[in-house]
Chains A and B, each alone.
Chain A
Amino acid sequence: MEFETAARAILANIEKVIDGKPEAAEAALVVFLAEGHLLIEDVPGVGKTVLAKALGRSVSCSVRRIQFTPDLLPSDITGVSVYNQADREFEFKPGAVFANIVIGDEINRASPKTQSALLEAMEERQVTVDGTTYVLASPFTVVATQNPYEMEGTYALPEAQRDRFMARISMGYPDSDAELAMVRGRDAENPFDGLESVASIEDVQSMIAAARAIYVSPAVEHYAVNITQATRVDADLRLGASPRATLQLVRAAKARAAIQGRDYVLPDDIDALAPVVLPHRLIPMRGASSVEDVVDRIIAETPVPAGAVQPS
């Protein structure tokens, strides 16, 4: 299937259940196709879980949801080996992480130990239980949500851990039209009832491969590096973006270019994605403006290399 058509079909499918949030849908798809993980930080009830579920349904992937609680154990995530009385041997019971799309609701409610079990799985894309390594499904994307307003009794993700997420988005409230439409249309029926998958897992896997093959010109490579390097020297930032951030920025940009039907990355892709890929990794100076503003300023100030940039 043509990449662009498939991408549009998936996005259109998601929009059937989430009104008026095309940016969030696209960001989710970008992260999904770039094999990254998505962190959604927002208040409850704006459609974080619906978004993740809609994505999963649209591509006929397996979707599992973990509600993080303080008493959740690492083995609940990774799985556990249990002794099978009948076979007289240990049998691996896979945890919630064995799915294409894993929704981690309110990840900040779990203990740090449980959190890090998930984060390790995200990074390694495999789980080791009792000395045996189990490879996770492909594609594999964790969509974690955090509620930033109710912080009592929670363990907020340390900044360093957030680096594992490719992008962080906020859903934001829908505007009044979208909310009206939701009230009218969604109350009577389960929104997921009519949602059919528009792409197979194989389609998705070939799309991921195609996104990896998108061309990144030396000019755009320089541009991405210049932006992340600027965050490391900016006077308003205490912690800049990691090299992993640069890598993920370019990777996400490739996926976005592919979704838009291009076989090359534009600086505009970097511009569009930097505000969701970078801010959650940065720590502002005390008293400085918000991290989002700083990133916007850096994007605005960094010139786009034009013409011939020699590959270095």
Chain B
Amino acid sequence: MLRAEASTQRVNNRTARDTWFDHIVIGVAFALLLSGFRSVITGNDWWITTILVAALTGLACAVLRAVGLRWVAPIAIVVELLALAWIFVPGTLIGIIPTWDTFRELGHLASAAQDIIIEEQAPVAAAKPVVLVIASSFGLLVIVADVLLQRRHAASGIGLLMLSVFATPALISGDTPSMWLFVVVAALWLVILRSRTALGGTLARRQRGPALVLATAALAASIAFPLVSPDVSAVATSWGKPPPAVFGRGINPMLELGQNLRRNGTTTALTYTTGLSEAPYLKVATLRNFTGKTWKPGTNQQFAAPEGEEALKNNPAIKVEKESTTITIRQLKTTMLPVPYPMTKVTGLEGKWLDGFGLTMISTDDDTRGQTYSVTSLDVQPTATQVRAITTSPSDLLLQEETKLPDKTPAIIEETARKVTEGATNEYDRAVALQDYLRNDGGFAYSETAPVADGYDGNGVDVIAEFLKKKSGYCVHFSSAMAVMARTLGIPSRIAVGYAPGSVVGIKDGQNQYEATSDDLHAWTEIYFAGVGWVGFEPTPSIGSATSFTEPGVPSTNTDEGEVASNPRGAVREETNNVDSTGATTTESSQTAPRTALITFAALLLLVGIPALLRWARRRWRFSRAASSVEPLWRELEDTARDFGVPFSPTDTPRGFATRLGTRDGIDHEALNRLLQRVERARFARSAVREGDGIDDLRAVIDSLHRAASRKEKWRAIALPRSLAGRRAYVPDGPLQPVSTLG
């Protein structure tokens, strides 16, 4: 019998008690790991269900193993399926026998879960489909762990399994994973490692080195990932996962805006090139109906004041240019199309798209994914004199909705509006005064988190009053405040939701190419001027630029979202949403996606390369110690041979191992024999070999191993060296050469 086979047998003879112990430890580890998913799922009872399913599955595995049945994993999967059916769709079972309905119902739940995963942001509510997904996943994990435990080299596999479960919630939610959880789970893993080790204490200690290094690397990686790379989810989505929905179907975009802005991680929503003199704001929805609590979208069924070309029809004196903007959607899923305002025509869309309210486009059965389209829009350039002359009648029936205020409005809103616009004589000057007050003069600070922290997030009148006092908020508050203040002055106003212009990322077809990311999600205010239409204003500090019209002859900015030339866009983008009221920096958003992807790629490469790196470092270290002893060299030879798939047993004699190694093709026998002499004399003879240090011989043997190995073996030896798993017996399939013979 061969040494390696014998130690295999010993592992196989492990007592049942040990196996039970391992199962229990892994069960505890999974239960702890489950707690990490609290950042992904809200509610409480989901984890009870999950533990129930996992426990039933684990029990099935254990009982099947105890009985000695084969095919444990398939049977356990059936048991898990029954458990899921019993918990989630009990009505469809006949006794415990699943029916066709069972599978159909489970299928429905699964597809519902898929929708939730695609459309909702973490944390999601613990709805039935979500619980089904997590419970079935953990059940499967238990089965995989059980299968792994039957194998000799299970510990590393189980470690990877635990690590992936540990990292999953962090990758989904972007939160930094709990250090304590990691430490506890890593400790449990070491317990398993200890108990799985074939030859007891000494070898287990030897394994702890690489185990700890791997664990530390994994911890560092999982903590560093969300910090270094806010774009992990972007990279993940670019690998084929559908992008997150920004504006879900039929849901108020205003309500989602803050949540989307506060989300960790920047995704590139779209890129575009434009013939407009300034990069346009891209509108996806228009909100006209202010209930006092929130803003609601308008619909085409309602009366509305003329806008765009229709509004300009009777005013030929105003300078208007038509320009085209070509937009490519990257990672954005919504049924409302981002378009510059006011648009006249869209070409290149796939699917069925309809005109939406406020010169937008919507689809009832398609979404923006994968779309590239061209939008023709107007560049309306009235002079300041022209626009100052306009007075819009507040009693215009078509503008009823846009001037309506709730019955009770806190006095501070109108008081502030009146104070700010004191001295302004026309609608345009009042609007500019309101914009400047919120944007520059009023001492307001941009913060995505302050309103949430102080409990006044939202856009109702009370929130606006609170915002005017606290003077801290984000675009929703600024735009909503300006719109409501304008209405208190009798100026028709509404809110536009979409993307701020974004930043230049390159040049395409002779035009600047812009990129709008999820951080550019924005809301701004539109004010109506009779004979011109709706004009956007930018009350939010440090985003875009303030709207102002100039006299003829002076270089003008565009009429829609005019931008002061002295305010370079790059600088503006830098400040976006970084500063909250306390001045603390919250997130780093200046990174562009390609760079982040590069960092992520480098990090992944590093992770993949860790085994090779460790192996290399170990070899270097052993070579450096070769002068004083031959032992490191021999250990290195054993390890290298093992990396190349040469069978190995920790009870091998040097000669036995060399004999087996010598049976491989192309081995440099002379060098191997010299090395063998060296180690044997060092270990067993009165005097060791004196001359040289044997490194050259070792190199020669390793080189000959390399030369004779297949390409696959070489890669395997470099990327996944077996020797890192510790000095355990390794017996591949197939017959072995005898280790020792008499004579």
A contact set with B: CB distance below 8 Å: 22-23, 26-27, 215, 217, 219-220, 262-268, 271-273, 275-276, 293, 296-297, 299-304, 306-307
Contacts and interface: CB of A to CB of B under 8 A. Distances in A.
Contact of A303 (B650, B681, B739): B650
**Interface size, B (range):** 20 to 34
Given A293-B1, A297-B6, A300-B6, A265 B684 contact: yes
A272 B743 CA distance: 8
* Top 10 A-B residue pairs of the complex, sorted by shortest distance between their CB atoms: A300-B6, A264-B685, A300-B3, A217-B684, A268-B655, A23-B743, A303-B651, A267-B653, A296-B1, A23-B742
B160 to A, nearest CB: 29
A306 B686 CA distance: 15
A272 B686 contact: no
Nearest to B652: A304
Contacts of A23: 741-743
A297 B1 contact: yes
B740 A271 contact: yes
A301 B742 contact: no
A301 B6 contact: yes
Interface string B656-696: 10000000000000000000000011011110000000000
A49 B686 CA distance: 39
A261 to B, nearest CB: 12
Contact of B742 (A26, A303, A307): A26
Nearest to A295: B1
Interface of B: 1-3, 5-7, 10, 199, 631, 649-653, 655-656, 680-681, 683-686, 739-743
19 contacts: A22-B743, A27-B743, A215-B685, A217-B684, A217-B685, A219-B684, A220-B684, A262-B685, A263-B686, A264-B685, A267-B684, A268-B655, A268-B656, A272-B742, A297-B6, A300-B7, A301-B10, A303-B650, A304-B652
Contacts of B681: 264
Contacts of B651: 300-304
Contact of A275 (B199, B680, B742): B742
Q: Is the interface of B mostly helix, strand, loop or mixed?
A: loop
B742 A264 contact: no
A264 B686 contact: yes
B656 A271 contact: yes
A266 B681 CA distance: 9
Contacts of B631: 306-307
Among the interface residues B3, B10, B631, B680, which one has the most CB atoms of the partner chain A within 10 A? B3
Given A272-B743, A307-B683, A300 B1 contact: yes
Given A264-B684, A301-B6, A276 B742 contact: yes
Given A217-B684, A302-B651, 15 more contacts: A22-B743, A217-B685, A262-B685, A263-B685, A263-B686, A264-B686, A267-B655, A268-B655, A271-B653, A272-B741, A272-B742, A273-B742, A300-B7, A300-B649, A303-B199
A267 B3 CA distance: 13
A104 to B, nearest CB: 23
Contacts of A300: 1-3, 5-7, 649, 651
A8 to B, nearest CB: 12
Contacts of A264: 680-681, 684-686
Contacts of B742: 23, 26-27, 272-273, 275-276
A168 to B, nearest CB: 13
A26 B743 contact: yes
Nearest to A260: B743
A230 to B, nearest CB: 12
A266 B653 contact: yes
A268 B652 contact: no
A220 B683 CA distance: 9
Contacts of B680: 264, 266
Nearest to B656: A268
A158 B68 CA distance: 43
Nearest to B631: A307
B1, B7, B649: most-surrounded residue (chain A CB, <10 A): B1
Contacts of A299: 3
